[in-house]
Chain A
């Protein structure tokens, strides 16, 4: 269930309920793991906005997940800087080791993978986010060590 008190807190920050939609969706994503139809309906009820409005916004932005996600979300950047420093090789590696496809989830439900367009770490490329943790300066060895820390 969506924490209604947190939603109210978000709503208070915006002059219009509609303004609170993006942060409320983030909240829902965090609490449900992904934006399931149920999660979107809950946001619609909490903000007193039509379901269609919520769904339209949720499907417009790439940062919302509309398929169930694994326990941990890996977001790897493959934009120019990271690409030059071998990010694509890392993506292949994840597929070899965990059977992870971009946009997909590993069979054991441990990881989900999303390809990002720049996470603002070009100076320490290649880089990734795991859930909310930032991991720069990756190479094949480092990325495996880091990920093994996420069970």
Chain B
């Protein structure tokens, strides 16, 4: 601790902090433009100058470390004059176009100029760069730029992208991508939030409102399970933009592109406004009464004729906890059916099972800051910066602070590029990779020093015998020495972390991967905190906890969607199995056999198109509720905008059907549900550890006929099938594509941007190829978001949670067309 005086106030502070940090913590205001909490000090703008007794020069508070005994003044005539001069120089060539600048009213430069009084205008100059208008979502207006470099540093230091820079020097410096080309980046918009002036703006917000007319409300992001706080800015009841607020929410103000730009899905033309009832094969708009009476009657009929075990429900990973509770209550209390499940079954449920099998725990929420301060972190075949962007940033942050981030992935992901080390393994071989490390750890006798009482150690040792470094190298394609080096690094580290995702959309990891990871950690004496597996979407974890899964022997998702004849009626809430779930062909056949398919959603989904009745639900912003994020934190969503058309909150729809069926489920008001939701707590487990012997069979997936492995997953700009409704996100990317390596493209004569034919034992689809060195030879990567691509016709489902990479063969699209994308 040190002691210093700022403006006559005696202050104690941590050693190593800068003057500005200490001033901020003590509510002393020093102006600044180039400083950003998340970045290294830059000292570029000279606005934060302060006087320090005994120093002849004025010092920049943002980059001067505080020292014991310093006497600092932050507001004196000398400082005012210096700051005013700085502002005067900034304004020399700043266009005074505030009347048409979207930043006006919340611009730091404007505010400071106002605070320090009019400048004399001794100099005059003008810059004549054209605003850059071709990039999607983000517009640059270089004339307004004050060259503070915050955008550049946020993009590179914090986001790890480096898409823009200050190009040139002196008067001609201009903020731009390297070659003035159209911006090709993550479109996170972090640079826009960082810009203190109006030089960077978001296009969807351009000329939409003056800042002082906006009303702000905070809510939670509907996309991934990080659960970022979004600050919504509304005018006349319409959301115009989303920003992150420094220090607010689990994200502390950071946002990814989905959170920032994806909100406009609620204004999509595809929103359902009225219930649709199929009459003579065609959908007709009907009123709620007709739809509800139809549903009540049909459900009652089917229950009487076939029994409640023939009725099932698939819930959503994005509806609120309150919606989920009502779906579960409606099914259990009114229909008497326990056939309830959600997409969590395909991914996160296996992660939970894997951790229960080994670590004896029934829940293991992640901690966003877990990577920070660890000696070594292993990221296993998981593109965390795309699927969970703000969690992903923590790995970069940890790296800056000295953590060694090692990425094992066939794909050249952002973390692979930016991490300390990247080992490129063959797709789907992360499990044997883990076996190999565990094998080495045993050989080193690590466990003998640790007094491990877990069961199954001998079987584990037996099973792992064959996974020598040589064998692992052969299976994974990673150089043997490199493997050995990394394995020992991990084994011998003081502190460590393993992270991976096990999403419903992913097919290269499975239950066996979780077992392998847990085995290794237990052997090293690490507890569950060392295994970080985030849930998928905004409320995946909440849906699980709210009981959207069979609790008393009911059918699970496999039993309902993939087992012919298992149901007569299915209720689907906020999910589109035909797009997001594997082996869509089988699902489609089973759905077509149903006597009653009810789909409740905010738009007419692909699954909805097969339904007998479709109910319009309100979106995330149009109702109150809560989500449970991957950290296990329940966060409230306020109702922000009025409902679309006749849509109703999901939970109310269940209340209303129950009423029509003569059950009132209690009175059920939101406040009661909210209270009920508040009581949900994750289950504990026995915490008894057990090793699971190796069980990986991922070897012989490829054959001569199907020589290539297709991996599926989520990408940066999209999330499940929801984000494709967003106009802004679709502006960046709206077309389905498959990534293919330059080697395979050459071998199969496929050009970048050409349609190719992909055939698996299940079927054939046509899709546009993107040749990319992010992908190794022998592998394809396909995002699943785009309904028109129907990629899930090719995939398979594994009922025991195994990773099932899809073996395929590819070739140029044959024949002469028809509609693209099949």
Interface residues of A (CB under 8 A from B): 37, 40, 44, 48-56, 59-61
Closest to A54 in B: B178
A44 partner residues in chain B, CB cutoff 8 A: 178
A53 partner residues in chain B, CB cutoff 8 A: 156, 162, 165
Q: A40-B178, A50-B163 are in contact. Are A59 and B156 (CB under 8 A)?
A: no
> Is B54 part of the binding interface, using a Cβ–Cβ cutoff of 8 Å?
no
Contact of B167 among A37, A49, A59, A61 (CB under 8 A): A59
> Is B207 part of the binding interface, using a Cβ–Cβ cutoff of 8 Å?
no
Question: Could you mark each residue 288-314 of chain B with 1 if its beta carbon is under 8 Å from any beta carbon of chain A, else 0?
Answer: 000000000000000000000000000
Closest to A66 in B: B168
CB under 8 Å from chain A, chain B span 384-442: 417
A55–B162 touching, CB < 8 Å: no
> Is B179 part of the binding interface, using a Cβ–Cβ cutoff of 8 Å?
yes
A56 partner residues in chain B, CB cutoff 8 A: 152, 165-167, 178
**What is the distance, in angstroms, from A116's C-beta to the closest C-beta of chain B?**
17
Question: Could you mark each residue 160-181 of chain B with 1 if its beta carbon is under 8 Å from any beta carbon of chain A, else 0?
Answer: 0111111111000000111100
Interface residues of B (CB under 8 A from A): 152, 156, 161-169, 176-179, 417
B177 partner residues in chain A, CB cutoff 8 A: 51-52
- Main DSSP-derived SS at the A contact region: helix
Extra inter-chain contacts (9) besides given A44-B178, A50-B156, A59-B169, CB under 8 Å? A48-B417, A50-B165, A51-B179, A52-B156, A52-B163, A52-B164, A54-B178, A56-B165, A60-B166
Closest to B164 in A: A52
Top 4 nearest A-B pairs (CB, nearest first) are A50-B162, A56-B165, A51-B178, A52-B165
B166 partner residues in chain A, CB cutoff 8 A: 56, 60
A49–B162 touching, CB < 8 Å: yes
B179–A50 touching, CB < 8 Å: no
A60–B179 touching, CB < 8 Å: no
Task: Give CA–CA (A49, B156) in the complex, Å.
Answer: 10
B167–A55 touching, CB < 8 Å: yes
**What is the distance, in angstroms, from B806's C-beta to the closest C-beta of chain A?**
31
B168 partner residues in chain A, CB cutoff 8 A: 59-60
**What is the distance, in angstroms, from A21's C-beta to the closest C-beta of chain B?**
12
Q: A40-B178, A55-B178, A55-B179 are in contact. Are A50 and B161 (CB under 8 A)?
A: yes
Closest to B172 in A: A59
- Total of A-B residue pairs, C-beta within 8 Å: 45
Task: Give CA–CA (A53, B149) in the complex, Å.
Answer: 12
B179 partner residues in chain A, CB cutoff 8 A: 37, 51, 55
B169–A52 touching, CB < 8 Å: no
Closest to A40 in B: B178
B169–A60 touching, CB < 8 Å: yes
B152 partner residues in chain A, CB cutoff 8 A: 52, 56
Task: Give CA–CA (A17, B152) in the complex, Å.
Answer: 18
Task: Give CA–CA (A60, B152) in the complex, Å.
Answer: 15
**What is the distance, in angstroms, from B135's C-beta to the closest C-beta of chain A?**
13
- Main DSSP-derived SS at the B contact region: loop
A–B Cβ pairs within 8 angstroms, 16 of them: A50-B161, A50-B162, A51-B162, A51-B178, A52-B162, A52-B167, A52-B176, A52-B177, A53-B165, A55-B165, A55-B179, A56-B165, A56-B166, A56-B167, A59-B168, A59-B169
Query: Which of A44, A54, A56 is packed against the most chain B CB atoms within 10 Å?
Result: A56
Task: Give CA–CA (A146, B156) in the complex, Å.
Answer: 47
Task: Give CA–CA (A59, B175) in the complex, Å.
Answer: 12
A50 partner residues in chain B, CB cutoff 8 A: 156, 161-163, 165, 178
B161 partner residues in chain A, CB cutoff 8 A: 50
Closest to A18 in B: B156
Task: Give CA–CA (A59, B166) in the complex, Å.
Answer: 9
Closest to B165 in A: A56
B176 partner residues in chain A, CB cutoff 8 A: 52
Closest to B160 in A: A50
**What is the distance, in angstroms, from B411's C-beta to the closest C-beta of chain A?**
16
Query: Which of A48, A50, A52, A53 is packed against the most chain B CB atoms within 10 Å?
Result: A52
Task: Give CA–CA (A70, B165) in the complex, Å.
Answer: 29
Task: Give CA–CA (A55, B180) in the complex, Å.
Answer: 10
Task: Give CA–CA (A59, B170) in the complex, Å.
Answer: 10
Task: Give CA–CA (A40, B177) in the complex, Å.
Answer: 13
**What is the distance, in angstroms, from A65's C-beta to the closest C-beta of chain B?**
14
Task: Give CA–CA (A50, B160) in the complex, Å.
Answer: 9
A48 partner residues in chain B, CB cutoff 8 A: 417
**What is the distance, in angstroms, from A122's C-beta to the closest C-beta of chain B?**
26
Task: Give CA–CA (A106, B613) in the complex, Å.
Answer: 78
Task: Give CA–CA (A40, B176) in the complex, Å.
Answer: 15
Closest to B167 in A: A59
Closest to A41 in B: B178
B178 partner residues in chain A, CB cutoff 8 A: 40, 44, 50-52, 54-56
Task: Give CA–CA (A41, B179) in the complex, Å.
Answer: 10
Closest to B170 in A: A60
Task: Give CA–CA (A37, B180) in the complex, Å.
Answer: 11
**What is the distance, in angstroms, from B410's C-beta to the closest C-beta of chain A?**
18
**What is the distance, in angstroms, from A137's C-beta to the closest C-beta of chain B?**
33
Task: Give CA–CA (A111, B164) in the complex, Å.
Answer: 34
Task: Give CA–CA (A123, B166) in the complex, Å.
Answer: 38
A54 partner residues in chain B, CB cutoff 8 A: 178
**What is the distance, in angstroms, from A19's C-beta to the closest C-beta of chain B?**
15
Task: Give CA–CA (A50, B169) in the complex, Å.
Answer: 19
Query: Which of A40, A51, A61 is packed against the most chain B CB atoms within 10 Å?
Result: A51
Query: Which of A37, A50, A54, A61 is packed against the most chain B CB atoms within 10 Å?
Result: A50
**What is the distance, in angstroms, from B215's C-beta to the closest C-beta of chain A?**
37
B417 partner residues in chain A, CB cutoff 8 A: 48
Task: Give CA–CA (A48, B419) in the complex, Å.
Answer: 11
**What is the distance, in angstroms, from A79's C-beta to the closest C-beta of chain B?**
19
B164 partner residues in chain A, CB cutoff 8 A: 52
B167 partner residues in chain A, CB cutoff 8 A: 52, 55-56, 59
Closest to A49 in B: B162
Task: Give CA–CA (A37, B179) in the complex, Å.
Answer: 8
Task: Give CA–CA (A50, B152) in the complex, Å.
Answer: 11
Task: Give CA–CA (A53, B153) in the complex, Å.
Answer: 10
Task: Give CA–CA (A51, B155) in the complex, Å.
Answer: 13
**What is the distance, in angstroms, from A35's C-beta to the closest C-beta of chain B?**
12
Task: Give CA–CA (A74, B162) in the complex, Å.
Answer: 35
Task: Give CA–CA (A51, B167) in the complex, Å.
Answer: 11
**What is the distance, in angstroms, from A17's C-beta to the closest C-beta of chain B?**
11
Task: Give CA–CA (A56, B165) in the complex, Å.
Answer: 6
Task: Give CA–CA (A49, B418) in the complex, Å.
Answer: 9
Query: Which of A40, A44, A55 is packed against the most chain B CB atoms within 10 Å?
Result: A55
Task: Give CA–CA (A40, B167) in the complex, Å.
Answer: 13
A51 partner residues in chain B, CB cutoff 8 A: 162, 177-179
Closest to A61 in B: B169
Task: Give CA–CA (A60, B776) in the complex, Å.
Answer: 36
A40 partner residues in chain B, CB cutoff 8 A: 178
Task: Give CA–CA (A80, B179) in the complex, Å.
Answer: 37
**What is the distance, in angstroms, from A135's C-beta to the closest C-beta of chain B?**
29
**What is the distance, in angstroms, from B51's C-beta to the closest C-beta of chain A?**
31
Query: Which of B163, B164, B167, B417 is packed against the most chain A CB atoms within 10 Å?
Result: B167
Closest to B176 in A: A52
Closest to B169 in A: A60
Task: Give CA–CA (A50, B162) in the complex, Å.
Answer: 5
Task: Give CA–CA (A37, B166) in the complex, Å.
Answer: 16
B156 partner residues in chain A, CB cutoff 8 A: 50, 52-53
**What is the distance, in angstroms, from B206's C-beta to the closest C-beta of chain A?**
24
**What is the distance, in angstroms, from A117's C-beta to the closest C-beta of chain B?**
14
**What is the distance, in angstroms, from B571's C-beta to the closest C-beta of chain A?**
49
**What is the distance, in angstroms, from B412's C-beta to the closest C-beta of chain A?**
10
A49 partner residues in chain B, CB cutoff 8 A: 162
Closest to B162 in A: A50
Task: Give CA–CA (A62, B161) in the complex, Å.
Answer: 26
**What is the distance, in angstroms, from B582's C-beta to the closest C-beta of chain A?**
35
Closest to A45 in B: B773
Task: Give CA–CA (A54, B177) in the complex, Å.
Answer: 11
Task: Give CA–CA (A6, B163) in the complex, Å.
Answer: 26
**What is the distance, in angstroms, from B185's C-beta to the closest C-beta of chain A?**
9
**What is the distance, in angstroms, from B747's C-beta to the closest C-beta of chain A?**
23
**What is the distance, in angstroms, from A57's C-beta to the closest C-beta of chain B?**
8
